[in-house]
Amino acid sequence: MFVATGKSILNGIAIGKIKIYKVPELHISDEPVENTKAELERFEDARLKAQAYQKKLYQKALDESGEDTAAVFDVHAMMLDDDDLIDAIKEIIGNQHRPAEYAVKKACANQAKVFSDMDDPYLRERSADVIDIGQCVIDVLTGTDNATLQGTEPSILVAKDLAPSETVKLDKKLLLGFVTAEGSTNSHTAILARSMNIPALVQAGEIKDDWDGKMGVIDGYNSCFYVDPPADLLKSLKKRQEEDARKVALLTELKGKSNTTIDGKTIKVYANIGGPSDIGVVQQNDAEGIGLFRSEFVYLNSHNYPTEDEQFEAYRHVAETMAPKKVIIRTCDIGADKTVDYMGLEKETNPALGLRAVRICLTRKVFFKTQLRALLRASYYGNIGIMFPMIISLRELRECKDLLNECSKELIAEGKKINYVEVGTMIETPAAVLIADELAEECDFFSIGTNDLTQYTCAIDRQNAKLEPFLDIHHPAVLKEIQMTIEAGHRHNCWVGICGELGADTSLTETFLRMGVDELSVNPKSILPLRKVIRGIDLSKKQAE
């Protein structure tokens, strides 16, 4: 038996034959060419075909995994329009007289090196995306098709690495799990694996060709990959896999049941979503509503400012489909690690503390009013709440509300039908916590964004993997801030929810219930496990230490 250790992407067990995913090496000539005009035409044709292909991958990922997962391919399509990259490729073809394939490979490698040398871990990961789009163009130029590399029977795929486009092309029916020698837990490939709910291991070290066809087991719980495990180990891992399957089956029995503790306290459990395509999984997991609808998908998936009508149709679809359940839509949260070229945002030294979210909206009021009008129009078709992100002052909240009222009056004057909307704010900075009493007087609800609240309270960049040893996601200061926010909200008849990742942390569920939280909004797949925990809590008894 051989044991490889790496970093687990998903807790779970995968058992099956190993299939080595090995893309044949393609020899790309760097010999000079005479007809550079023909090479430039070949490149442009391949670029457009590769761009169209990325859009097909976007649709496939959208249908299978949802908006958050699919967004990478929309970004890939936009990267193929990047002037700097296109100019670099054309320079190599036109001035160096090199073939289109070589020019694409060289220019993309140079651009990827720029990303990989950056300090920001998120941007470092984007180097893989540049290589991926370059390979897509090269595949078009060379007529390469690697579709058959997965094999014909269900297996554990083992590869040096997998690009996002390779991962989304995989046939799920033939994929038990995958192991890569390289990769990262923060890569888009890892995100795709989690969304597909398959065990995966990255950074597993050297891969040997003679593993092909042998029995393999991914143990996501212990971050191990076993090649040819002995019978007794295989038996115990199969037993764990069967236990996991039984747990999934038991969770489905909780559909339709209330989120009520043993002693009778009921709490709302809502879902966080990234776009309209996530509604199916929300309904499958029996969410009581949507507690965080990230409206920035409208902007990230557009090549120009989305119109009022375009936004209205997206919001209306979600509101109408979920009605009469509550849908809380967060206004535009562009900025920091989410940017779009057409907005012309300047690069900042510290974007997490820069011009983002409501700060952009209040400096571009025409832009902001377009979204607010669309949201108000959509309110007629369902039960919508509007939530403002990154509020740190009463002045900002009042300014947002004034603009919302202005839009309401305009729409009514135009004869448009709108409904009453609850108005709330995210609590995601220590500043907002400390003025929560003042904010609560003017809000219907609070939603605590624990991801940013933890980042700003602990002064730790949550994108920086090097800081993981210093990050305590259960930091007592953060828990105190949550308690303070809940108490302040309740003093002013303002209900309080949690929409950050701590909301799905079942080790804190009882703590949050004892604090008096009214709602938890989580990833749709966390709803039933959370319901199971809630129904097993007895608040009449003293909480265990």
Q: Are 535 and 262 in contact (CB under 8 A)?
A: yes
Helices 231-252 and 527-534 cross at an angle (nearest 10°) of 80
Q: How many CB atoms lie within 10 A of CB 206?
A: 7
All residues at 6 or more sequence positions from 509 whose CB lies less than 8 Å from its CB, including other chains:
520, 530, 533, 534, 537
Give the full edge-to-edge strand order of the sheet including 224-227. Answer: 2-5, 224-227, 215-219, 13-20, 155-159, 175-180, 200-202, 7-8
- Please say if 188 is a catalytic residue: yes
Beta-carbon contacts of 287 under 8 Å, excluding residues fewer than 6 positions away, are: 269, 270, 271, 325, 524, 527
Under 8 Å CB-to-CB from 89, ≥6 apart: which residues? 43, 100, 103, 104, 107
Q: For residue 308, what are its two tokens?
A: 């009022």
Tell me whether residue 475 is one of the annotated catalytic residues. no
Residue in the block written with tokens 């090479």: 39
Catalytic one among 188, 224, 443, 494? 188
Q: If phi over 0 gives left and psi between -120 and 50 gives alpha, with beta otherwise, what is residue 128?
A: alpha
| Helix 83-94 / helix 36-65 crossing angle, nearest 10 deg | 150
Nearest to 189 by CA among 55, 297, 48, 57: 57
At residue 238, what is the residue type? K
Are 274 and 300 in contact, with CB atoms under 8 Å apart?
no
- C-alpha closest to that of 315 among 307, 327, 303, 326: 327
Beta bridge partners of 202: 7
Q: How far apart are CA 485 and CA 335, in angstroms?
A: 25
Q: What is the dihedral of CA 182, 505, 479, 433, to 10 degrees?
A: 80
> Contact at 8 Å (CB) between 163 and 135?
yes
Give 3-state DSSP helix, strand, coil % of the chain, rounded to 5: 50, 15, 35
**Rg of the chain (C-alpha set):** 25
Cβ-contact 396, 437 below 8 angstroms: no
Catalytic residues: 188, 499
